[in-house]
Structure 1
């Protein structure tokens, strides 16, 4: 078992140590666990004081529960308190100069970087992360003859336990490292994970190395004071994944403004670069080249050329745009040496919760649940509905998050005005912002107010829209929530049904 002095030396070697009280406190103590949650602290815990909202009472609570030592950041309130509080100053502590990097190093050290024994697959991009990662998992499950590890905004799986994701696309550092460590202990050979721009920017994935990664696409999103200050910050944060990957897979069809830089950065940093897409770029054809897509209700027939050989794939998810996600999954798994037959079988059977989930109320009423939550994803979904359900009225149930991504409110309202026949605006993680204010802003961008209503309770909103749809030929889109099984209200996260579960409850109620 590692001792506190081992952590001190490791942080010094990483040039993160900014101070400590090892001259007066006992550092020859075993560290049994690490946490930044005072509720999880216990005997022998190394407690990490992190976050802008951290309060000194959290540290005192952790110490009362048996925490052996703590880590704080230089200049923080806790650091200043150590100078004035003799009782606190008597507890062994380490001061660091960069808390985010220190957390990653401390956690990696505690878990002995056990995940280096496993092959990690990372997927980043503005949209398509969950679907692409799920496709990769479906293929590798068959290839390995068992479920691989998985971490996404839908759920996590550590080789033994599966849990719905309740907060982040990419878990916080210690939680993520614990999942990876459990995967190794449970015999997983691979883990496929979504890698968000925030995780890359704030070093939650700093100590991970990916066998392969995919960069699906990029468009304007997540730009706010709470996320990325501008598009350049967002883009360069995502590029960091290539510095940690052996194989980099790049979509040649992404926005040309960013494609050349993405490809050049991947080629500069990765041992091998694989391209995918549906279009040639000048004389360059993608290594995994989508020749054609035959779009059906609920599935796709994709013809693609893999490194010069033409193959056909049935993809068990609707929406022509999902052909790009399939090409990304093919590029990743083919580059890992997975046989084409196994790739084909994985795509034929893949299911993605909260992504293009389709339910039938009756012959003339279909409901589609999807995570689409920005202009790009709304547009492609409405295009899909227009093509597959040309004579149907379209209902639209959605909301926009509070405190960030404010541009989505205008975009969603304008999409609703242009394409939807009836609209129900509802909650979606309002957080500290007034839900009625958010919904009112969205409504202000809908000119035909008579076709829209605000129902802030999401359960009631979905039920109302489905009840209304029963009386007409209709396709109802329940969007933006997807597989989310929680709602952020105020500063708390509350468990909730997923949108799919809401629809299923309605079907059960009407005897379907």
Structure 2
């Protein structure tokens, strides 16, 4: 594509020096720049792209998009380089989002489960669907690694373009608060956007819960329709913030879509979906009231897309569980479960679901992330202490923060609770200890990692798959006399 044509397609003015240069890529990382790149200077939390513009030009960039004059031969000055970056990536890839039915899900908890189940329900109807999310990206049945919950614009629009080429009709994606705040989804219009819930998380980035909510709410300025959870105080604010049709959901009161006759089991939950006078039974192999709320969001999105309630209900009954979400890793004389729960609210939802089905002791292993919201740490421990008979407090991506300081912050929330706890900074040995400690009737719950197969330690990412570690620990336990 010729530079002048790209800029015009993106709605940006072409510098006089643009000429007929051929564009090979649109990037914001100077290390990715090649001959023919357009380089966008993005101001980030730890680096300013303007400082690397000259390096990009040396590598062959034919245009630099900046917010201040850098004195470069072919530069385009704009007010917001993030918005320009999104528009350029969309134009370079042929505006793939315009050729797909785009669906986005935002909220503190449930995004991965909701997007995965939406994909499964749509596939049940025969549609080909793309997925962008935390665990992985998917183009139909093809699975690709995911670096971020919500990718940067170059990766995002590249993925969407590949979905178009593969014949996908829908693209379902998670919209993180950081991505929305950083305008990574600029220019993308969503057929439906869903809000699951909001509780304390990412305050190291947003500062306050209100800022966190406002970042999430930005999504709906780019949506044609919305789905929201009325049982969440923040979810009740969505209809007042948007000028678009909103489908409301509730498991407690009146709403457009409700769940009634809820019956929880150890391995799942059954209930009745009610919508516009129609009632359909649903039975899913995912336990907990939080699973009911996830299904309400899924059903709300599918109904907003025009699917009949009966079809949605049947599709939900065919859904499989989600990797690393309340996943049973072992079931014998004791049980081992892993989950991604890493906020006070998510821990409460998970543990209050499991607790009634524990025959003897509930052993909970968890940790708190380094270089993240420190105020969450004692709250997480206090929440675990509400349910656990034994706590194993360890590490969860300490990054370059002292893991012993993290443990100290965490333990501060439970010193006076009277619940026994075991401290082990090395998560590998913590898991082995918890499994060795388990006896008949116990349930061991590993919280925080879920689908993740790594630990972030110092500045390194170390391979760490709890599925494999649990399997090895169980084998070694069986081999001991």
Q: Confirm or deny: 8 A CA contact 2:29 2:49 kept in the other structure.
A: no
1:208 CA drift (Å)? 1.1
Whether 1:331 and 2:300 are equivalent positions in the alignment is: yes
Are residues 9 and 187 of structure 1, via their aligned partners in 2, closer, same or farther at CA, if it must alter by over 3 Å?
closer
2:347 to 366, 378, 391: 378
State the Cα distance separating 1:228 from its structure 2 match: 0.9
Q: Match of 1:413, SS?
A: helix
Say if 1:320 and 1:259 are closer, same or farther in 2 by CA, change over 3 A.
closer
Give the distance between the partners of 1:463 and 1:455, measured in 2 at CA: 10
Q: Which of 252, 257, 277 is residue 288 of structure 1 equivalent to?
A: 257
Distance (whole Å) between structure 2 residues aligned to residue 479 and residue 489 of structure 1: 18
Mark the runs of 5 or more structure 1 residues left unpaired by the alignment: 84-88
Aligned partner (choices 379, 382, 388) of residue 357 of structure 2:
388
> TM-score w.r.t. structure 2 length?
0.91
Question: Residue in 1 aligned with 2:105?
Answer: 123
Match of 1:28 in 2: 20
Cα distance in 2 for residues equivalent to 1:165 and 1:502: 22
Aligned partners of 1:244, 1:408: CA distance in 2, in Å?
A: 31
Moved more, 49-58 or 120-129: 49-58
Partner of 1:73: 67
Indicate the residue corresponding to 2:90 in structure 1. 108
Distance 2:473 2:454 in 1: 19
SS in 1 for 2:137: strand
- Hey, what does 1:45 align to over in structure 2? 37
1:302 to 255, 266, 271: 271
CA distance 1:8–1:208, shift in 2 (3 Å): closer
CA contact (8 A) 1:487 1:496 kept: yes
> Match for residue 273 of structure 1?
246
In the alignment, does 2:134 pair up with 1:153? yes
Distance 1:508 1:138, change over 3 A: farther
TM-score, with length taken from structure 1 = 0.85
Does the 8 A contact of 1:127 with 1:217 survive in 2?
A: yes
Are residues 511 and 306 of structure 1, via their aligned partners in 2, closer, same or farther at CA, if it must alter by over 3 Å?
A: farther
For structure 2, the residue ranges without an aligned partner over 5 or more in a row are none
Distance 1:207 1:462 in 2: 45
How much has 1:508 moved relative to structure 2? Answer: 5.1
| Residue 478 of structure 1: aligned partner | 446
CA distance in 1, matches of 2:24, 2:411: 53
Please give the alpha-carbon distance, in whole angstroms, between the structure 1 residues aligned to 2:293 and 2:82.
34
Give the deviation of 1:302 after TM superposition: 1.5
| C-alpha spacing 1:361/1:157, structure 2 compared with 1 (3 Å) | same
Summarize deviations over 1:476-505 as a string: whole Å, max 9, x none. Answer: 11111111233333445x253443343344
Residue 94 of structure 1, CA deviation? 2.7
Contact persistence 1:394–1:476 (CA under 8 A): yes
Seen in structure 2, the aligned counterparts of structure 1 residues 73 and 484 have a Cα distance that, compared at 3 Å, is farther
Q: Is 1:468 the counterpart of 2:446 in the alignment?
A: no
Report the Cα distance in structure 2 between the residues aligned to 1:158 and 1:38, rounded to whole angstroms.
28
**Cα deviation 1:61-91 (Å, max 9, x = unaligned):** 54454433333332xxxx5xx44xxxxx35x
The worse-fitting range, judged by mean Cα deviation, of 313-322 and 441-450 is 441-450
Q: Contact (CA 8 Å) 1:316, 1:347: kept in 2 or not?
A: no
Matches of 1:33 and 1:250 in 2, distance apart? 38
Distance 1:345 1:304 in 2: 11
State the 1:432 CA deviation.
Answer: 3.1
Q: Which residue of 2 aligns with 1:182?
A: 162
Deviations 1:448-500 (A, max 9, x none): 6993333333333222211221x3531111111111233333445x2534433
Aligned-residue RMSD, C-alpha: 2.6
